[in-house]
Amino acid sequence: MDGKLNTEQEFRCRYPSDKNSSLGETPMATNTSLEERIAAVEAAIFELQKQLANPQPTNWLQQITGSFKDEPAFEEVLALGRAIRQGDESVLEAEDEQ
């Protein structure tokens, strides 16, 4: 054989279209499910195109504002920063001892 498939039977032997024996399902989805999948993909693409056409201005600062609210570690960082700015070295020395 020269690498070409000579008959339909030979093609079917090499590339069976029967049910997948290990999974019990056909290798390709039915036309209905393909149509449904394509419709879902088209709807998703439409939504993405809409979002790209009308981008919402994003202010990164507004997105993170309040994210550390009531976080004890953040309150401690603020207090230490304030102490450094005011030159209060006693706070820094207390931290070194811990």
Residue 4, in any domain of the structure: no
Residue 96, in any domain of the structure: no
Angle between helices 72-86 and 89-97 (to 10 degrees): 130
54: alpha, beta or left? (left if phi > 0; alpha if psi -120 to 50): beta
Residue 79, in any domain of the structure: yes
Residue 49, in any domain of the structure: yes
Q: How far apart are CA 88 and CA 79, in angstroms?
A: 11
Whether the full predicted model's pTM is greater than 0.85, yes or no, is no
Q: Strands (DSSP E) along 3-98, which ranges?
A: none
Token pair for 50: 């809409």
Q: What is the pLDDT along the chain (98 residues), one digit of tens a residue?
A: 455 556 666 766 666 655 544 555 555 556 778 999 999 999 999 999 998 998 777 888 888 888 888 899 999 999 889 988 988 777 767 666 66
* Host domain of residue 41: 32-91
Residue 8, in any domain of the structure: no
